[in-house]
Structure formats: structure tokens, C-alpha cells
């Protein structure tokens, strides 16, 4: 089963709307027309309206960094799936470790968001990954398996083609420390086994599993060459066109 690479930029809390427009313009002029690799940028909510007009005529897709699981109502400060769809958002990052760490998001909370995203035709990029302590105690696979099982509970099989996972070891996020190619492959392969138990072999082999955690042009090719690594979720290196495009180019070579 061939899976098209997805290179997604997680801009986190960076870039004003006008800076976002400039960066997307640069990305578009370098890779906006190519179709070999799927490209997505995830700016802050405040930039989505302006940038949705920009990406309309290009192959660059738009993603959001979070959303609320409820359709509407008294949830001050929150944004719904329908609001994102209205701005032509295609992907939504859910369960990022920073959301889990700073905002108390559990697998159960993230599960509700994933189901709401799917109901609204948004493609969730479901983030999972272990802490340094968990890795050092040999618990990586247990932790990640549990995140996959709980986060994807009741996920409808008919929507499997819209599901993306991102394995992001927490100790590698924003630290400059990257998992080795072999470490990434070991966990990705294990995630695919769990997906296979949950959804069957055919579905499991069609789901893209991205790697995230200090991916940059210099290490992208090695990581992306691993059999079960289907793209990257890029933080720091997605904030300049040069490094983000460098990663897309590395993906094109693999």
C-alpha cells in the first residue's frame, strides 16, 4: 500500500496573520504546485481566515492546531469543527503533547475531539508520544499503545482514510534531540500493529503515521526513509520557508 508523504507545519503560537501570509506565499512559490508530497500548514486560529484565501488555488492545505469537541455553545475562547470547515481547513492537530501537558488534555478528551473532527469531515492529526522518563523506564510502547487505543476508541472504520497519526517523542520536541531513524521506525511499526488489531490489516497499512520532534532538512531524509514513517509534523523548522521547503524536498527524494 503506498502512502503519500504528508509534511505538516505546526506553527504553534508564532506568526501574526500578516507574517503568516508572507510565509505561506514563500512556501507556495517554492512548492505550491507540486503534488508528489502533500503539504499542510497549521497557523494560529487568528491567521486562518486570511490564509484560507491564499491556499485556495494551491496544493498547500490548511490545518488548525486544536478545536473543541462540542458543536457550539458556551465555551468561551474555544473554536468548533464547523468554524474550521467554514475556513476551508482540512486538517486539525489533536492531542499535541503541549495541549496534554499545559491544558490537561487526556486521551478521553482528545478522543471526543477526534470523533467530532471526523463527523465534520476534518482530518485529525492525532499526536502521541512518550516522555523521557517513560522511555528510560522502558515504557514507550506501552504508553503509545494506550494512547492509540484510548484516543481512537469508537473511531468509525469508514472514515479511516481521513485519519493521520503523529508519533512525537516528547523529549525530542523543540529540544534539538531527534529519535534515531531506528527508534522512530520501531515505534511506528508498533503503532501500525495496534492499528491493525483495531481496524484490520488493509486499513492499518493505509493510515499515515508522521514523525515529529526536531525534524529538519538535515535529518529528514533518514527518518522519512523508514518503512513506516509517512511524513513529518514539523515545529521549529516550519517557521521559515527555507527549512520547511528543505524538508519537503527531502521527502520528494525518498
Which of 96, 98, 105, 134 is catalytic? The answer is: 96
CB of residue 213 to ligand PGA, shortest distance in Å: 5
Q: Which residue is nearest to ligand PGA (CB)?
A: 235
Which of 98, 134, 168, 188 is catalytic? The answer is: 168
User: Rounded to whole angstroms, how far apart are CA atoms 2 and 21?
Assistant: 33
Which of 177, 253 has the CB closer to ligand PGA? 177
Question: Which one of the spans 18-26, 43-51, 206-214, 242-250 is the region binding ligand PGA (CB under 6 A)?
Answer: 206-214
Does position 151 bind ligand PGA by CB under 6 A?
no
Which of 237, 245 has the CB closer to ligand PGA? 237
Which of 163, 199 has the CB closer to ligand PGA? 163
User: For the chain, how many residues are written?
Assistant: 254
Does position 214 bind ligand PGA by CB under 6 A?
yes
Instruction: Using alpha carbons only, give the angle 225, 167, 185 rounded to the nearest 5 degrees.
Output: 35
Window 8 to 67, contacts with ligand PGA (CB under 6 A):
10
User: Rounded to whole angstroms, how far apart are CA atoms 91 and 63?
Assistant: 4
User: Rounded to whole angstroms, how far apart are CA atoms 67 and 160?
Assistant: 20
Question: Which one of the spans 100-108, 109-117, 208-216, 220-228 is the region binding ligand PGA (CB under 6 A)?
Answer: 208-216
Of 90, 131, 229, nearest in space to 247 by CA:
229
| Side-chain half-sphere exposure of 167, counting CA atoms within 13 A | 30
Helix (H, G, I), strand (E, B) or coil at 213: coil
Question: CA-based Rg of the chain, rounded to a whole angstrom?
Answer: 17
Q: Which residues participate in catalysis according to the annotation?
A: 96, 168
Binding residues vs ligand PGA (CB under 6 A)? 10, 168, 173-174, 212-215, 233-237
Amino acid at each position: 500500500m503506498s502512502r503519500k508523504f504528508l509534511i505538516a507545519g505546526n506553527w504553534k503560537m508564532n506568526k501574526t496573520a500578516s507574517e503568516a501570509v508572507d510565509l505561506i506565499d514563500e512556501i507556495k512559490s517554492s512548492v505550491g504546485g507540486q503534488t508528489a508530497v502533500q503539504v499542510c500548514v497549521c497557523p494560529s486560529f487568528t491567521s486562518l481566515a486570511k490564509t484560507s484565501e491564499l491556499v485556495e488555488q494551491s496544493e498547500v492545505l490548511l490545518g488548525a492546531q486544536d478545536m473543541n469537541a462540542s458543536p457550539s455553545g458556551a465555551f468561551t475562547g474555544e473554536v468548533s469543527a464547523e468554524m474550521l470547515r467554514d475556513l476551508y481547513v482540512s486538517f486539525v492537530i489533536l492531542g499535541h503533547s503541549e495541549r496534554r501537558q499545559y491544558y490537561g488534555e487526556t486521551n478521553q478528551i482528545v478522543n471526543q475531539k477526534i470523533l467530532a473532527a471526523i463527523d465534520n469531515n476534518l482530518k485529525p492529526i492525532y499526536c502521541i508520544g512518550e516522555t523521557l522518563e517513560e522511555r528510560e523506564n522502558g515504557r514507550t510502547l506501552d504508553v503509545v499503545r494506550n494512547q492509540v487505543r484510548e484516543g481512537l476508541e469508537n473511531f468509525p472504520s469508514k472514515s479511516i482514510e481521513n485519519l493521520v497519526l503523529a508519533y512525537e517523542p516528547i523529549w525530542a520536541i523543540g529540544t534539538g534531540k531527534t529519535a534515531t531513524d531506528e527508534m522512530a521506525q520501531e515505534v511506528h511499526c508498533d503503532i501500525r500493529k495496534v492499528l491493525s488489531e483495531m481496524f484490520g490489516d488493509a486499513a492499518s497499512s493505509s493510515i499515515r503515521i508522521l514523525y515529529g520532534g526536531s525534524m529538519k532538512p538535515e535529518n529528514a531524509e533518514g527518518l522519512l526513509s523508514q518503512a513506516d514513517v509517512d511524513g513529518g509534523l514539523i515545529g521549529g523548522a516550519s517557521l521559515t520557508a527555507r527549512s520547511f521547503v528543505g524538508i519537503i524536498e527531502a521527502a520528494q527524494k525518498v
